[in-house]
Structure 1
Amino acid sequence: MRGLSEAIGGPLGAHAVPPDSRPGRFWTAPRIVMALACLILALSWVQKSPCMDGNWQKNVQYTRYCYTDVLALYFAEGLNEGKVPYQDHPVEYPVVTGYFMGALGLPVHAYGETHPDINQGSWFYNANALVLSLLAVMSVAIVLSLRRRRPWDAAIFAVSPIVVVTATINWDFLAIGLFAVGLALWAKRHPIWAGVFFGLGAAAKLWPVFILGPILILALRNGRLRSFFSSFTAAGVTWLLVNLPVMILWHESWLRFFRLNDERPIDWGTFWYIGRYLDSKWNTGTAGDQGPFQWLSDHIPELNRLSYAMFGLCCLGILMLGLLAPRRPRLSQLAFLVVACFLLFSKVWSQQYVLWLVPLIALARPKWGAVVAWTVAEIGYLAAFYAELIGAGGKSVIPEGTFVLASTARFVTVAVLCGFVVREIWRPELDVVRESYGGADPDAGVLDGPEQPWITGLRRTFGLGPSLEAPAPPPPPVHKDEAAAPIGG
């Protein structure tokens, strides 16, 4: 966005008066970004409007790209009958999402009982869309607060076409909003409260707790492990407290989420789905021939173990990258890599999961070129996915190979983004956020500061030069008289 301003005079010079500081100016950059975010979410609501009445005839939910789990699960989870999540019906989501569904769904059902003329499904969807949109606007505001010197970075998140088509497919903005609050609290040097919100986010969707891994890496570099353990403990206690009522009272319902994820087969568009398709093309011999991906498709426990192992290897690689990098990586860079690797090798990659990466890439690598290419690939995948769903109903729309090609494009563009982030961690002089903040990490919070001397020793073990970060100064020498003084004397 800042680059586009060259068409009307170019970016501000070194001695110009910043527009946001001019008296009486209303349309500052942050307000423009916030207004655009509201516009995009309004467009998302319009885009989903053909599906709001629940009359999904002739595959309208796929041909109009307006499918949403929110409306479908109002009926599938029994909310339209007044069933209390977990108590009366097992819910396939973690408990905070289940609480959220019940908090909006049960009042809608109760109101519908006294007003039979209303469309309960439509009311439920609109109530969810409103709250999720507010959470999305809050998340954009937090990204703006984390990048006060670079407000246009938040536009990568605020105006993303991905948000238009996926904002209310599921309840992902609930977890995103909780994660964003936790990240803001961490940047404000409140590790315990940050951990509370990371724990709440993990109790809505699993991925927000992954931030604790990057925090650990940064804590190892500067020796402030106490802050990590404070946040880790707060996240764990929070997760346990919000899960405990359902865990104790309706244990079997609580286990539904974990069992479902354990038993689910290879899902559409994943790395494993692509591999299985290639297996089917390459293994054209006898009926007993099976490639490795097809074998894994028939042996789900082994698929689970391999998927977790590959994610674990990625995390190990991110750990080594974080410790060996010439300068302490930025927290959002490591967080993006962890979440992206989880998606790349997961056996499930639902179309709305892309929302997890949008705010993270705006914080980790705010450069439009690769983001635009990735966005095109994601929108192309969504179109191919809906075409494939229509085909699953018996009406072929596109060849299977076209869907696999779209899936591959999505996989490759996310992997390329990871490569760019890794490059900027290894060559911090290419990092535009560091450039704007004088080499500092605006998200580091309590982990900002000099690092441990052993980092330089570790780098030299691998044949690398000294770290660019200044090591922590040694403690001042103690005078012999002070050493001999009694405690409290």
Structure 2
Amino acid sequence: MSTQPSTDRPDVPSATSDGFVRGLSQIIGGPLGSHATRPDARPNRFWTAPRMILALTCLMLALSWVQKSPCMSGDWQKNVQYTRFCYTDVLALYYAEGLSEGQVPYVDHQVEYPVVTGYFMGALGLPVHWYGTTQNTSINQGSWFYNINALVLSLLAVATAAVLLILRRRRPWDAAIFALSPILLVTATVNWDFLAIGLAAIGLLLWVRRRPIWAGVFLGLGGAAKLWPLFIIGPLFVLALRTGKIRPWGLTALATVITTVVVNFPVWYWHHEAWLRFFRLNSTRPIDWGTLWYVGRYLDGKWNSGSPGDQGPFQWLSDHIPTLNALSYALVGLACAFLLGLGLLAPKPPRLAQLAFLVVAFFLIFSKVWSQQYVLWLLPLIVLARPKWGAIIAWTVAEIGYFTAFYAELIGAGGRPVIPEGTFVLASSLRLITVAVLCGLVIREIWRPELDVVRQTYDGNDPDAGRLEGPDAGWVQQLRRSLGYVKSEPADVEPESPVVVKI
């Protein structure tokens, strides 16, 4: 049963669905009353909810730029990049990837990123090098490169916030979870992840606007920047199976594949070894900081500390990377199979955002690499999947705790221990646990759709379904009925004729 009329009138979190916000509102007098004048009801009001969200996003990104400012000079003495928490790959890789010497990505230097990220680096880095060497030799090229990248990435972050607002017109305050997130503050420009996030967000918007081909184009571009936007094709496939509408999914998948092939082809054909570097690096790189495998290896060391000749399973996997790769892929595959079953058997088709969040989260949980900025992949997806502040704040606290412990660990790697290794492992474990808890809560709301606040606002429907709206396909109904998830209704029985008794 919907708790919101079928209009685009904005939801007020304190008055409706969010228990955390409702409790917090007691500080200022309690939830909005039924007779109160709603902010959205005032005519000609400038500071509407969407404008406030966009302004807050810009403010947070400006603060992020200030937070990274101690590192802009590139003079990273005495671990300033870690003690001030301002490290950014954008500045470091300007020099490491040869851009400071005018080297063209993939042509003169084998870049370790997918091609759209490499194109982006070259498109911004080579003009900075040219200007610095031919027009103005006094500029700090690295600082200019970072600032231009920060500006473009910030614009993509604002575009992502705008997409969240468009996708949730009736729930604009959900986007405040994104705009006010400390995660945005500390990781927005650590790497080029907002390039993929912005493209994927536009792809989702185009899908909702029922333009499957253009949605596939932007998902393909996003996937050629960082691989994770390609994962969204999987949730779309599950929903296409559930509703029996394969054609829209097929158009999007085909457009995604074609776009990915087209943008990769020049590097693949003319600079094949450079194109392979990304894949070779990821197949051979060891267990990364803070992953499930890292935590397991630490526990192996603790449990087997008294038996020098013994190796635990995680330590063994650390020494056999091909086997670890296969196990990691297998676990992600099993998780996807679970999502397929969940998507087909749930009482209602899961929302697209719920499945998208779960598949990306499962990939990160089982991956051997979980860089600090990957948290940005989950942030807009959890806003769309489960916009409840309480659990998201707990997850954010764990992420910021991990961020702090990670930088302390990096300082310790230079020979100056800052925190015990066990403290870093604890922070890593809390991050893993909170992400797993979010997954559990999303799965719970898929299985019990009456708990889903987004469905409550949108009359029980999925606002992101696009062309995949509609009832279950016939074979899905039969499958659910055969497994006992739908009770067979008794056949219609003709009512008995009334007995007439003559007196």
Q: Normalised by the shorter chain, which TM-score bucket?
A: over 0.9
Paired with 2:30 and 2:482, the residues of 1 have a C-alpha distance of 47
The 3-state SS of whatever aligns with 1:23 is: coil
CA gap 1:14/1:188 in 2 versus in 1, 3 angstroms: farther
> Which residue number corresponds to residue 484 of structure 1?
none
Unaligned runs of 5+ in 1: 468-489
Listed one character per residue, the Cα deviations across residues 71-114 of structure 1 (whole Å, up to 9, x for unaligned) are 00000000000000000000000000000000000000011002
Contact residue 187 and residue 445 of structure 1 kept, 8 A: yes
Provide TM-score, normalisation by structure 2. Answer: 0.91
> Which residue number corresponds to residue 73 of structure 2?
53
Paired with 2:165 and 2:234, the residues of 1 have a C-alpha distance of 24
CA gap 1:358/1:449 in 2 versus in 1, 3 angstroms: same
Farther off after superposition, 385-394 or 447-456: 447-456
Which of the numbers 22, 33, 36 marks the counterpart of 2:53? 33
> Which residue number corresponds to residue 214 of structure 1?
235
> Which residue number corresponds to residue 305 of structure 1?
326
**Deviation of 1:8 (Å):** 4.6
Alignment RMSD (CA, Å) = 1.4
User: What one-letter code is carried by the residue in structure 1 that aligns with 2:82?
Assistant: Y
Paired with 1:169 and 1:451, the residues of 2 have a C-alpha distance of 43
Paired with 1:130 and 1:123, the residues of 2 have a C-alpha distance of 11
User: What one-letter code is carried by the residue in structure 2 that aligns with 1:248?
Assistant: Y
Which of the numbers 84, 87, 101 marks the counterpart of 1:81? 101
User: What one-letter code is carried by the residue in structure 2 that aligns with 1:338?
Assistant: V
Which of the numbers 334, 337, 361 marks the counterpart of 1:340? 361
Paired with 2:324 and 2:87, the residues of 1 have a C-alpha distance of 29
> Which residue number corresponds to residue 399 of structure 1?
420
Provide TM-score, normalisation by structure 1. Answer: 0.93
**Size of the alignment, in residue pairs?**
467
Contact residue 311 and residue 345 of structure 1 kept, 8 A: yes
**In the alignment, does 2:106 pair up with 1:69?**
no
Alignment of 1:9-408 (within 5 A): 11-12=31-32, 18-113=38-133, 114-408=135-429
CA gap 1:130/1:158 in 2 versus in 1, 3 angstroms: same
Paired with 1:164 and 1:227, the residues of 2 have a C-alpha distance of 37
Contact residue 459 and residue 466 of structure 1 kept, 8 A: no
Unaligned runs of 5+ in 2: 1-12, 15-20, 489-503
Farther off after superposition, 176-185 or 108-117: 108-117
User: What one-letter code is carried by the residue in structure 1 that aligns with 2:432?
Assistant: F
Which of the numbers 420, 425, 435 marks the counterpart of 1:414? 435
**Deviation of 1:463 (Å):** 2.5
Contact residue 95 and residue 204 of structure 1 kept, 8 A: yes
Paired with 2:316 and 2:430, the residues of 1 have a C-alpha distance of 24
Paired with 2:241 and 2:402, the residues of 1 have a C-alpha distance of 39
**Deviation of 1:448 (Å):** 1.0
Paired with 2:39 and 2:406, the residues of 1 have a C-alpha distance of 44
The 3-state SS of whatever aligns with 1:401 is: helix
Contact residue 424 and residue 430 of structure 1 kept, 8 A: yes
**Deviation of 1:115 (Å):** 1.1
Alignment of 1:466-481 (within 5 A): none
Paired with 1:402 and 1:259, the residues of 2 have a C-alpha distance of 32
Contact residue 175 and residue 201 of structure 1 kept, 8 A: yes
User: What one-letter code is carried by the residue in structure 2 that aligns with 1:192?
Assistant: I
**Deviation of 1:24 (Å):** 1.6
Which of the numbers 430, 433, 439 marks the counterpart of 2:454? 433
Paired with 1:108 and 1:221, the residues of 2 have a C-alpha distance of 50
CA gap 1:156/1:466 in 2 versus in 1, 3 angstroms: farther
**Deviation of 1:9 (Å):** 5.7
Paired with 1:165 and 1:399, the residues of 2 have a C-alpha distance of 23
**Deviation of 1:459 (Å):** 1.8
> Which residue number corresponds to residue 473 of structure 1?
none
CA gap 1:205/1:27 in 2 versus in 1, 3 angstroms: same
Contact residue 59 and residue 390 of structure 1 kept, 8 A: yes
The 3-state SS of whatever aligns with 2:257 is: helix
**Deviation of 1:207 (Å):** 0.2
Paired with 1:386 and 1:466, the residues of 2 have a C-alpha distance of 55
**Deviation of 1:289 (Å):** 1.0
Paired with 1:462 and 1:293, the residues of 2 have a C-alpha distance of 38
User: What one-letter code is carried by the residue in structure 1 that aligns with 2:376?
Assistant: L
Paired with 2:378 and 2:342, the residues of 1 have a C-alpha distance of 20
The 3-state SS of whatever aligns with 1:185 is: helix
Paired with 1:161 and 1:198, the residues of 2 have a C-alpha distance of 27
CA gap 1:217/1:235 in 2 versus in 1, 3 angstroms: same
**Deviation of 1:288 (Å):** 2.5
**Deviation of 1:451 (Å):** 1.7
The 3-state SS of whatever aligns with 1:302 is: helix
**Deviation of 1:199 (Å):** 0.4
**Deviation of 1:466 (Å):** 5.2
User: What one-letter code is carried by the residue in structure 1 that aligns with 2:128?
Assistant: V
User: What one-letter code is carried by the residue in structure 2 that aligns with 1:208?
Assistant: P
Contact residue 326 and residue 466 of structure 1 kept, 8 A: no
Paired with 1:376 and 1:408, the residues of 2 have a C-alpha distance of 13
The 3-state SS of whatever aligns with 1:111 is: helix
Farther off after superposition, 9-18 or 326-335: 9-18
**Deviation of 1:21 (Å):** 3.9
> Which residue number corresponds to residue 9 of structure 2?
none
CA gap 1:129/1:140 in 2 versus in 1, 3 angstroms: same
Paired with 1:324 and 1:419, the residues of 2 have a C-alpha distance of 17
CA gap 1:293/1:368 in 2 versus in 1, 3 angstroms: same
